[in-house]
Amino acid sequence: MIIRRGVQYRKIDLNLYPNGLLEVQAITLSTGASAECSVLNLYNPSKNITLSELRHYLLQLGQRFIIVGDFNAHSQLLDSSCIRSNMTGRTLEDILTNDRVCLVNPVNFFTYLDSRTGKRSCLDLCLVSPNLISSTEIALSSDVGSDHCAVQVVSGVSPIINESICQKKWIFTSESLKRFSEKIKQSNLDKPNTVDEICYDMEKRIIESAAECISKTSGTYRTKKRTPWWNNECSRAVAERRQARRTLERHPNRLNMEIYRQKSENAKRICKESKRNSWKRYVSQLKFDTPMSEVWNIYKAIKSQYVPHSYPVIDNGEIISDPLKKADMFAEHFINNGKMGRITNKNTVETINRNSLKDMTDESDYNCDLTMEELNLAIKNSKDTSPGEDDITYRMIKALPADHKEDILQLMNQSFHTGTVPTNWKIGIIIPILKPGKNKENVESYRPIALLSCLGKLLERIIQRRLDYQIENRLQLLARSQCGFRKGQGTIDVLVRLEQEIRESMRDRKVCLVVYMDLKSAYDKVWGRGLVYKLIKSGLKGKIVQWLNDYLRNRKIKVKIEGMISENRGIETGVPQGAVLSPILFNVMINDIPQQEGIVQYIYADDITISCSGESIIQIEKDMQTYLTKFNHWCDCWGIVVNSSKTRMQHFTNKRVNCPQIIFKNEMVQYTKTQKILGLIFDSPKLKWKEHINYLKTESLRRMNIMKAVYSTNWGADKKVLRLFYIAYIRSKIDYGSMLYSSATETLLNKLEVVQNACLRMILGARRSTPILSLQAEAYITPLNLRRKYLSSKCYIKLMHRPREDQTARSINIRSGPSSNLMEAPVGSFARNSRMFLDAIGIEYLKRTETTIVSKIPPWKSVKSKVILNEENESKIINDTTFQDYIENLFYGYTHIYTDGSKTSLPTKSTASGMYLPHLERATCWRLNPNHSVISAELYAICKALEYIKQNIDGNCIIFSDAKSALQIVENPGTSYLGVVDEIIELMLELNNSRKVVLHWVRAHIGIKGNEIADKTANLGHEALTSALYPLAREEEISLVKEKFKQYWDQHWKDSTYDTGKGLFLRNIKDNIHHESPINFKNRRMDVVFHRLRMGHVGVGSYLHRFNMRDSNTCQNCNETETIEHFLMVCPAYRTQRQRMLNKLRNLNVENITMKLMLGGSDASRAHNKKYVRITAEFIRDSGRLDEL
């Protein structure tokens, strides 16, 4: 059924008739005050339908109903000329005679025309309940190309239709944003003033300027054309078919019947070809140079399915269709959902809060003024999300002039210092989002997502960075078991630790009992005053706590549905879902979860998993029961509600023991064989990963359907786009958690290899017989068994760089040592598999380097103003003279230091750093670990220069470096090279307390004397006899693993081709698996043919005969055996075309013309190989063999 936008209806889940023959679907239309009306759509596939089956469905409809469909019934009730009724016709007669059912069709209402005989039949019927017969009419509609006529039924039923109002959105252009920036007015508000008044004035000025300069969408839905393939030829063919049909109906004879048949086939053929050609043109837009945004738009268009835009919801049996009433009902539901459970320590908490919040005089540095650097960083890191109630977007804020950003900063500082959050910033527009697989008619099935003010979220982001720094770095407040929304940690941490615990228990012949807790509406039930109490008890004080206290109080929500918005409703609990601060505040709220010896916790935000291991099942049961009692008491203290009916447990063991019985909140915790946790399905009791791999296979095959929609060997998306789609949309799904489920049996894992192989054939357009080794090499896609090991090794290296107290690193016993030392890691565990593979690829020693995840530099401190990239003067400085003039004007009296880094691979890999001091005419160089990157070498030199300044120079200094990327990392530090960058920033902050020390970028190779000497100094470092102690950064070790893996994969591919004898043809074309393929024609067919030629499985005689697709292997032109070499280089039938090809190749100074060169496998550069294959492509096209190869 296709249902008009806005019609309020509910799907009826029909109880199907046992072994029934009818195909049915039904809905219920909401009609307001009057009774509902059911609509049943059925199809009889020319079967004999019994009275009991038809009556079975009638009984499931209400008092008012309409039944339409193709009944395939024959009876004199329908056709007066009918001689013999069929069983379905007789069933229809019985229903009409004995049941309260009426037939709307008049006698001889012909809806079907047999194009073979010209006979007409009355197959499409409309039945209604007696209370609708007087207001229901039926009529034939126009011919729509089917042998059935379209039938129009008009009934007195008036369904509720809610015309949806979509939000008016700003239409941004560079010109409109420029005008907006220029037109915005200055504030005329008297100062000082309240935070709310200043905020209102700011928002008003922004919106007024935007309304004047930026246009908006209309706010109405536009009906899009659904037939982009339709053209004039289609119109003409359909008009001729309709004319022929009318003629046949008036004059049914053999001639008219034949004319109608021909016109019908012609119209069908033309429309089908037009659809096909339109689709080809659409997906053929996907080329190697297509912007990725367009690629994903097309994929989304293909993937999209019909989703109803509006539907009623049911509340206590009442069906609600009106959008405003629905919005009010959802608002009521979300407020009730946020009501806390029992709180046993309410009075104590409120007393402490009152006393602590009175004092705002704390002088801690985290309570200092918010800085412009913090605001600019918050703006930079913001994505273009939907605006809140004020309708101000991030794009507007980014376009604001500097003086207005200063106004915003002043407003934020006043809010922060007074502990008052603007009222408008505490209003959230709630959008109910349906949870996957849930009933859309039930309000419980929706998750509230809040749209908040973008200005407010910027302030939240600044507060969040300060809070995160204080909690993670100084207080180290959060429990080690919490991995949710923390830098450097994620879901994999939880899964790795749980898997390690299970594997160790099974190795030691123990039992591991795991309980999965389900918190009910966890974010919505956060007790604000309890949260503030915990912040105070953790050691936070002053303005930040006062601000957070006000942030959590007196919040309001309004729900938006179908363009209608509910009234403002106050909420006293919860942290808004979608707010920047919510994750860290929730982490603080559950941070004091009870601890108990023998109980291990795995927490990711509100996903709480608990395990207990031991030899005695009785003791495990006792320990877990004791802990759950403590956990329940803790929940009661803080108003947290656990959904005991959804709490599950599993046990993992090699013993033959039953899972113990655990009681929580007077209910037995349900045992489950399979449990999905953070995207992975754990199957007990052996942890074989069977269910998860079967799930991955099913999901991957479903995603492959989208690939098939744009795949063809003759047209459609090219290799690059298909490959990208596979990697981003299918392989990414397979990759997640693969380092854990890699312990599954080879039989299970091969199911995923089959999926990848099918995708590779589509990417390349390869024949089914093509060796898998060739598919992987030509598509440059790693075999999944190797990729799992590679991802596991990368993850292990990251854990080697975790802080000392990191729980995941501790749980798998991370420490320095030979990679061959498996440290008694359980067989099949992530840790054991990772170390084995690292040893296999040649990384023999693993160094534990303890690195902080969160920067040691406070977010309110920055060296951004001390890093000068000088892009505005870059064009003016063209040599040493202009450079010296520039320095003399701006940095007179500064001591100059030049630094540089160098990396070389010839004759051996080496990395070095250098520093030059012009005032002393002294140079210093350092030889570094050869696996350091050049950026790391540059940062090391800068760090050494700062250390030298600290120890030896008293005045102002300027350090010059030609490494812009290194300086950008210092200017805007992230997680890359965190150790050395933190050291540089700490030195910069310390040195700039009493003088000026600046980092300055200079352009390389323009003759600047100091820079040239620093460059030579760094190069001399390669010859140094000793190396500086400078540990590899995490990024560099991962890069080393990648480099070693590429070598390992190349050797594995070569060995496999020789050992199996498969894929040797491509092996002779491609010397190295990393040799970049030059194949990227703008013609999909040519791409496919070249890939087939390179892999040796192509439509030439020897191949076709080998796989029984041709009787002989001889060439059809010269009776010689037709191989690829014969076709390209020998066959006399293509002598003229070949001579042209050879002449063009010789014009490119190619002397030794081989098949390898012609197919793009020569040792020449990729640019030259592209020229060679294009010349070969011209030969293939001229030969006329393109479509058959």
For the segment 432-456, what is each residue's pLDDT rounded down to a tens digit?
Answer: 888 877 888 888 888 888 899 999 9
DSSP, collapsed to helix, strand or coil, labels residue 1140 as helix
Mean per-residue pLDDT over the chain, rounded:
89
Rounded distance between C-alpha atoms, residue 577 and residue 592, angstroms: 22
Phi-psi region of 818 (alpha: psi -120 to 50; beta: other; left: phi over 0): beta
- Of 1080, 298, 287, which is closest to residue 706 (Cα–Cα)? 298
Contact of 845 with 878, CB cutoff 8 Å: no
Choose among 340, 332, 329: nearest CA to 574. Answer: 340
- What percent of the chain clears pLDDT 90, i.e. is strictly above it? 60
The pLDDT score that the predictor gives to residue 218 is 81
Separation between Cα atoms, residue 330 and residue 448, nearest integer Å? 9
Cβ–Cβ < 8 Å for 797, 1044: no
Question: Residue 931 above 60 pLDDT?
Answer: yes
The per-residue pLDDT for 304 is: 55
Q: Any idea what DSSP says for residue 603?
A: E
* Residue 370 scores a pLDDT above 50: yes
Model pLDDT, residue 89: 93
Of residues 696, 194, 221, the one with CA closest to residue 422: 194
When pLDDT is averaged across residues 546-568 and rounded to a whole number, the result is 90
- At 804, is the pLDDT very low, low, confident or very high (cuts 50, 70, 90)? confident
Q: Distance between CA 865 and CA 804 in Å, rounded?
A: 33
* pLDDT level of residue 1124 (50, 70, 90 thresholds): very high
> What are the φ and ψ backbone dihedral angles of 375, each rounded to 5 degrees?
-65, -45
Does the CA dihedral 478-486-423-378 come out positive or negative? positive
Please give the Cα distance from 1164 to 64 (Å, whole number).
Answer: 78
Higher pLDDT, 535 or 871: 535
Q: pLDDT digits over 1014-1038, tens only? A: 999 999 999 988 889 899 999 999 9
Query: What is the DSSP secondary-structure string of 653-716?
Result: ESS--PPPP-EETTEEPEE-SEEEETTEEEETTT---HHHHHHHHHHHHHHHHHHHHT--SSSS
Other Cβ atoms closer than 10 A to 692? 21
The better pLDDT of the pair 323, 378 is held by 378
Strand partners, 927: 912, 1027
Q: What is the mean pLDDT of residues 603-619?
A: 94
658 contact partners, CB below 8 Å, separation of at least 6: none
Helix (H, G, I), strand (E, B) or coil at 432: strand
Separation CA 669–CA 1164 (nearest Å): 67
C-alpha distances (whole Å) from 716 to each of 353, 710, 1165, 1187 are 65, 6, 29, 15
Over residues 875-892, the mean pLDDT reads 91
In angstroms, how far is CA 449 from the centroid of its own chain?
A: 18
Q: What percent of the chain has pLDDT over 70?
A: 95
Confidence at residue 306, expressed as pLDDT on a 0 to 100 scale: 47
Are 775 and 764 in contact by the 8 Å Cβ rule? The answer is: yes
- Per-residue pLDDT, averaged over 617-643, amounts to 92
Q: Which of 307, 531, 579 is nearest to 429 (CA)?
A: 579
Neighbouring residues of 296: CB distance < 8 A, sequence distance ≥ 6: none
Residue closest to 506 by CA, chosen among 748, 741, 684: 684
Give the side-chain half-sphere CA count within 13 A for 567. Answer: 6
The amino acid sitting at 1035 is E
Closest listed residue to residue 440, CA positions, set 571, 309, 245, 534: 309
pLDDT of 201 over the 60 cut = yes
Sheet holding 9-12, edge to edge: 9-12, 23-29, 37-43, 65-70, 124-128, 102-103
Does residue 574 or residue 164 have the better pLDDT?
574
pLDDT of residue 789: 95
Q: Token match 């046992």: residue?
A: 18
pTM of the predicted structure, to 2 decimals: 0.85
pLDDT of residue 508: 92
Upper half-sphere CA count for residue 938 (Cβ side, 13 Å): 21
Closest by CA position to 897, among listed 983, 1031, 1024, 991: 991
Tokens representing residue 64 in the block = 């008012």
Contact 46, 21 (CB under 8 A): no
Range with the poorest average pLDDT among 135-144, 890-899, 960-969, 1096-1105: 135-144
Residues 607, 1090: Cα–Cα separation, whole Å: 51
Buried/exposed 159-173: b ≥16 CB within 10 Å, e otherwise: bbebebeeeeebebe
State the distance between the two ends of the chain, measured CA to CA, in whole angstroms. 44
How far is 791 from 788, CA to CA, in rounded Å?
Answer: 5
Task: Report how far apart, in Å, the C-alpha atoms of 628 and of each of 255, 525, 590, 664, 665 are.
Answer: 85, 20, 15, 7, 9
Output DSSP code: residue 733: H
Q: Using the 8-state DSSP alphabet, how is residue 644 labeled?
A: G
pLDDT (0 to 100) of residue 808: 92
Among the listed residues 1122, 1066, 1056, the one whose alpha carbon sits nearest the alpha carbon of residue 1096: 1066
**Strand 817-818, strand 670-671: pairing:** unpaired
Residues 6 or more apart in contact with residue 613 via CB below 8 angstroms: 501, 504, 505, 510, 511, 512, 513, 598, 600, 620
Place of tokens 């296999």: 840
Range 932-960 average pLDDT: 95
Residue from 726, 707, 837 nearest 775 by CA: 726
SS3 58: helix
Contacts of residue 568, defined as CB under 8 A and 6 or more positions apart, other chains included, come to: 427, 556, 557, 558
Cα 215 to Cα 172, 182, 218, 391, 429: the distances in Å are 8, 16, 9, 13, 23
Q: Output the six-digit token pair for 958.
A: 């300027």
Contact assessment for residue 195 and residue 420, using Cβ atoms and an 8 Å cutoff: yes
CA gyration radius for the chain? Answer: 37
Rounded mean pLDDT, 244-248:
84
CB atoms < 10 A from the CB of 809, how many? 23
Whole-number Å distance between alpha carbons of 668 and 189: 64
Q: Report the phi/psi class of residue 539: left, alpha or beta, with left for phi > 0 and alpha for psi in -120 to 50.
A: left
Residue type, 330: F
CB 938 within 8 A of CB 900: yes
Confidence band, pLDDT 50/70/90 cuts, at residue 309: low
Of 642, 654, 645, 574, the closest CA to residue 608 belongs to 642
Q: Do 765 and 1091 touch, CB atoms closer than 8 A?
A: yes
Q: Which residues contact 721 (CB under 8 A, 6 or more apart)?
A: 286, 287, 288, 290, 295, 710
